[in-house]
Structure 1
Amino acid sequence: MKSSTIRTFTTVHTWTGLLAGFALFIAFYAGAITMFHDPIDTWALPKQELADARVMDKAGAMMADIVAKHPAARESIGVTYAAGHPSHEVAAYWMEKNGTWMTQAIDDAGAHDAEDHEHGLADFVYELHYDLGIPEIGIYLMGIVSVIYGVALLTGVLIHLPNLVRELFALRPGHNLKRLWQDAHNVIGILSLPFHIIFAVTGALLCLTLVALMAFNVAIFDGKLMSAFERMTSALPDTAAMTAAGPGADAKTNVPMLPPAELGAIARKAALGAGATNFDPDYMRYVHYGQPGAAAEVRGTSEKTLGEYGMVALDASTGRIINMQLTGARDANHATYSAIFGLHFGTFGSLSLRWLYFILGLAGAFLFYSGNLLYIETRRKRRNAEQPMKVRAMATATVGVCIGTCLAISVTFIANHLAPYFGAEPTLVVQPVCFITFFAAVAWTFWRRPAKAAVDLLWATAVASVLVGVLDMALHGDRLVRTLAEGRYDVLGVDLVAMAMGVGFGWLAVATRRRAVEGDPCSVWAARSPRVTATTTPAHDG
């Protein structure tokens, strides 16, 4: 390959990495944590008991009451199941005529309304992963980032392909930090390349599907694609055919509907009878509630399958099975859609696969962090104490955004447990605490400069991460003992992993401080800037 071509690929790789790097760091770090969504969900709500059959029995009456008060819900209304998890509340969801999503939760005390659904801790971390916590446009932004990410992967492979075998395990520690960061970046990138290709492709598809559908709907399919896509990704038949199935689909007709608990039980029995290894209902929706031809679609989860979710469509008034889309019995559309989701989130394997995805997520975050450090090391002036503005700006942004994200998420875990002791609802606290901590970390980096701020923020993250586990054990030790007695280790796992990560951040803080004090003074990472002339030669590079 010509040297000019390699330079072009290197330039493209550098700038695509920089453009997408910060967003990808947040997505990968939050995504790694999201691999243990259910254990975190259980950990986050220590006082909430399992939603039992009594609560699910009330859901049927709740559906009828909602439809009576909100006619728009008759067209489509969904309800979540407890699904055997302490944190899964039973709640109904529907869309008003103005496009506003509504929710109504129900517990043993009865139903209660809420105009806007607030995310719990685990759901919020998941939201950070797929849209950075940015409403409306965040998911599309991450779709664009995924495309740029794919370009960075392609150019990176083309750059290193000629020396792939020689550079695979070439990790050369020493005084030359640029070479060390380059080696670490290359090794992690090459070894995890297949997974990064999966994440880039599936991430772009998941985030930009709606945009692509809208474009093709107008340009090619004459406005018919959106309704067709709903049929291709649902187990339900055409809604027009359903309403025509009954003798006059009058909106005032009130056909009795089977309650969600009964429909879920029928769907589970049918799925197991069709060969599914397991089928745990977690969500269902009614279509044309109370009308002749009304149908219900029950979604259930299955473990160790490429497509975690399966669907069973039923007649909502009789429970007759209409259609099933399950593992091993899906059509091409459902199989493709399920595979995209399963590959991206690692839902097709056991606990060991989730741990692998967790490690790959952290390694991916390091990949983008090390890419920024490479940019800084490549462009810093090795004979001047005062570094160029672009180097100082990149160092500030890298410390503030990357380490600030780690600190913000750890502090959010702490806030989730402390909120009730200050009379606050955890679901209302997690988002503001996370963003306030993040922007405070960025501001602290501007004030303290990157070298000192990096040490400060790493120590703060280490302490906060250890406190996540310590506080839970101190405040909810009874819950920890009970879950262990029941043979459940999810709560203990969250505590131990948080404390282990705290130890890791502490080690990074010590190493970073050593670099700031003992490293090359002609660096943006030096704790103090000596008077160095343009002819001064540093003791070593890095």
Structure 2
Amino acid sequence: MKAATLRLYQTLHTWVGLMAGWALFIAFFAGALTVFHEELHSWQSVHRARHAAAAPAGTPDGASVDRFVQALAASHPAAAASVYVSLPTAGEPELSAYWQEKNGAWQFTTASRLAAGKTSPAETSLERVRGELANFLNSLHYSLGLSDAGMYLMGAISVLYGLALVSGVLLHLPRLKKDLLAVRPGRNLKRFWMDAHNVLGLFSLPFHLVFAVTGAMFCLSMVLVMAFDTLAFDGKLMPAVPRLTAAAPEVDSAGRPAPLLPAATLLAAARAGGGTAFTPTSIRYQRIGDANAVAEVRGNADGALGSYGSIALHAAAGQPRSGQVMGDQTPAGRDTNHAVYSAMYGLHFGTFGDVALRFVYLVAGLAGAFLFYSGNLLWIESRRKQRQAVQPRVHKLLAQATVGVCLGCCLGVAAAFSGALLWPERPAAQVYFPVFLAALAWSLLRQPARAALDLLYATVAATALIPVCSALVAGDPFWRAAQRGDWAVAGFDIGALAMACGFAALAHATRKRARSGPLDSVWALPPARPDGATGVAATAPPVLPGPPPRH
């Protein structure tokens, strides 16, 4: 490959990585945790030990679903038109539902809240649920916590991310055989980190390609649909989207009353249609109490790449087609469109495997976050002016911003974990964003190396505090959860301790690098002055040593 072509790919890889690196660090760090989204719901409950004892075994009780749905439709007429009912699980032992009011506001309630008469809009607002830790981390993953605008931004960044991957592969392709496993520790720390960056990037390339393609599709799908709807389909595509993305179409009211079929009948029919591997997790009801009532039973099928699927049934009793299947989008019967979309969802979130696979996704996500962090550090270090005490201002600003965004995200997430237990009614965003912005401001006021050390030590403390809050606030320390076999809870506390050790090791390595590395690096701590203070004298910059001789 020509040298000019290699330089072009290097420039593309570098600048695309720099522009997208900060957002991708946040997406990967939060995304690594969201592979255990359901388990996090159990962990963040301050009453989780009681929930564990009350968790239902086997299939959900159809009679309780019927009572809940009827009470919900009576209390909230808008829910009768369309409502999503989540079935109990070990982590979420209560029935819950969410629906949209006529004014467009989304509402949420549970069986206990409905029974307690908490039916006012303020008490049923979905914002309270969106603010929970597990849901906030998911939002941080796909939209940086910035709602729709952030989702579209992440879609564009995913496209840039794909460009960086392709250019990186083409850049390293000529020396792939020689440097495939070359990780060379020693005095040349820059070379060591470059080797680690390249090796991690190469061996995690399949994961990154999957994340780039599926991330762009999930975040930009509606943008593409709207564009094609206007440019190619003359406004006919948007009305067809519900039919293309679900097993049940949107139905209108027949104007004739009819009772619902029992939930037990609907669940039995869904299991019969989806096969023995299909496990229902929720039901979407349309037109409750009407002759056109439809129930779409949604769930997961073990052993399928696209495990998520649904079966739509005519749900009105006493009608000619009562209980008949009107749409099957489970792995055994879905069409090509649903098969592709479901497979991409499974590949992105690792839902097609067991806990071991999700651990692989966890490690891959954390390794991906390290790639973006180390990539920015390497770019700054590679442009260091040799034997020059004062480095370009832009390099220092980039170093400060990299430290503030990346380590500020880690610190904010750690604080949000403890906040979920200390203030369960407060949205996690109210804990994360103040901590994140304070960390970013702190990094801009300090030398990069000093800011990195400060934030790393703060993150060590915040992460170590998580199992402490778990034991004191929830009254459920990880050793007790482990004794009863509740590893979904114990795993987060043990993982927090492991992460605290990891951040402590990173702080130690950062301090060592800052003390013993080149003095002209932005990652060096200023040398001590004779009066005991630190910093570089303003009147006479020190004479910096030259590079060590090459052997």
**Same fold by TM-score greater than 0.5:** yes
Q: Name the stretch that deviates more: 297-306 or 272-281.
A: 272-281
* Superimposed CA distance per residue, residues 96-144 of structure 1 (whole angstroms, 9 cap, x where no aligned partner): 3443323333316435242343232111111111111002211111111
Residue pair 2:414, 2:463 contacting (<8 A) in 1 also: yes
Aligned to 2:205: 193
Give the alignment of 1:132-281 within 5 angstroms: 132-237=144-249, 239=251, 249-250=254-255, 253-258=256-261, 262-263=262-263, 265-274=264-273, 276-281=275-280
On the 8 A contact 2:405/2:436 being kept in 1, the answer is yes
Corresponding residue of 1:460: 458
In structure 2, the CA distance between the partners of 1:116 and 1:175, relative to structure 1 (3 Å rule), is same
Provide the rounded CA distance (Å) in 2 between the counterparts of 1:56 and 1:99.
Answer: 25
CA–CA distance in structure 2, aligned partners of residues 482 and 297 of structure 1? 39
1: CA distance, partners of 2:323 / 2:204: 47
Secondary structure, aligned partner of 1:283: strand
Distance in 1 separating the partners of 2:430 and 2:290: 43
Across the two proteins, how many residue pairs are aligned to each other?
518
* Pair 1:353-2:352 in alignment: no
Shift in CA distance, 196/277, structure 1 to aligned 2, threshold 3 Å: farther
Q: Does 1:285 align with 2:293?
A: no
- The percentage of counterpart residues that share the same residue type is 46
CA distance in 2, matches of 1:116, 1:489: 29
> How far apart are the structure 1 equivalents of 2:474 and 2:542?
60
In structure 1, the partner of 2:70 is 61
Structure-1 residue corresponding to 2:503? 505
Q: Is the 8 A contact 1:383 1:534 kept in 2?
A: no
- The answer to whether 1:343 aligns with 2:340 is no
Deviations 1:292-345 (A, max 9, x none): 222111111233421221211112223603232212321111111110100000
Give distance in 1, aligned partners of 2:428 and 2:150.
18
What is the CA distance between 1:175 and its match in structure 2?
A: 2.7
**Structure 1 unaligned runs (5+)?**
244-248, 420-425
Contact 2:422 2:473 in 1 (8 A): no
Aligned to 1:19: 19
Correspondence for 1:423 = none
Q: Which moved more, 1:404-413 or 1:230-239?
A: 230-239
The unaligned stretches of length 5 or more in structure 2 are 527-534
* Separation in structure 1 between the aligned mates of residue 211 and residue 266 of structure 2, nearest angstrom: 32
**Matched position secondary structure for 1:159:** helix
What TM-score comes out, normalization by structure 1 length?
A: 0.90
- Measured in 1, the distance between the counterparts of 2:72 and 2:518 equals 67
CA contact (8 A) 2:470 2:476 kept: no
Deviation at 1:534, TM superposition (A): 8.8
CA gap 1:317/1:465 in 2 versus in 1, 3 angstroms: same
Match of 2:531 in 1: none
Which residue in 1 is equivalent to 2:105?
100
Tell me whether 1:127 sits opposite 2:139 in the alignment. yes
Q: Distance in 1 between matches of 2:486 and 2:324?
A: 35
Query: Where does residue 413 of structure 2 map in the other structure?
Result: 409
Structure 1 residue matching 2:174: 3-state secondary structure:
helix
The residue correspondences of 1:401-480 to structure 2 (distance < 5 A) are: 401-419=405-423, 426-478=424-476
Structure 2: distance between partners of 1:135 and 1:233: 22
Residue 279 of structure 1 contacts residue 302 of structure 1 at CA under 8 Å; is this kept in 2?
Answer: yes
**Other-structure match for 2:127:** 117
**Distance (Å, rounded) in 1 between the aligned partners of 2:66 and 2:6:** 65
Cα distance, 1:55 vs. partner? 6.1
| DSSP 3-state at the match of 1:136 | helix
Shift of 1:2: 1.0
Cα deviation, 1:136-166, whole Å, max 9, x if unaligned, reads 2111111111101000001101111111121
What TM-score, normalized to structure 2?
0.88
Q: Does 1:363 align with 2:367?
A: yes
Cα deviation for residue 357 of structure 1 reads 0.4
Letter in 1 for 2:489: V
Letter in 2 for 1:16: V
Q: Secondary structure at the match of 2:97?
A: strand
3-state SS of 1:137 partner: helix
CA-CA distance at 1:348 after TM superposition: 0.5
Distance 1:98 1:338 in 2: 31
Instruction: Name the CA distance, whole Å, in 1 between partners of 2:468 and 2:76.
Output: 46
Separation in 1 of the partners of 2:456 and 2:479?
Answer: 31
The root-mean-square deviation of aligned C-alpha atoms, in Å, is 2.3
- Specify whether residues 51 and 339 from structure 1 end up closer, same or farther in structure 2 by C-alpha distance, changes over 3 A only: same
Cα distance between partner residues in 2 of 1:465 and 1:478: 17
- For 1:36 and 1:104, the matched residues in 2 are separated by 23
Report SS of the residue matched to 1:93: strand
Partners of 1:492 and 1:320 lie apart in 2 by 42
Tell me the alpha carbon deviations over residues 4-47 of structure 1, each in whole angstroms, 9 at most, x when there is no partner.
11111111111111111111000000111111112221110031
Residue 162 of structure 1 aligns to a residue in which SS?
coil
CA distance 1:181–1:437, shift in 2 (3 Å): same
- Which amino acid in structure 2 is aligned with residue 280 of structure 1? T
Residue of structure 1 in register with 2:529 after alignment:
none
Structure 1 residues 481 and 267: alpha-carbon distance in aligned structure 2, compared to 1, 3 A threshold? farther
Q: 1:81 aligns with which of 72, 78, 87?
A: 87
Structure 1 contact 384–534 (Cα < 8 Å) conserved? no
Indicate how the Cα distance of structure 1 residues 449 and 438 shifts in structure 2: closer, same or farther if over 3 A, else same.
Answer: same
Task: Compute the displacement of 1:275 (Å).
Answer: 5.7
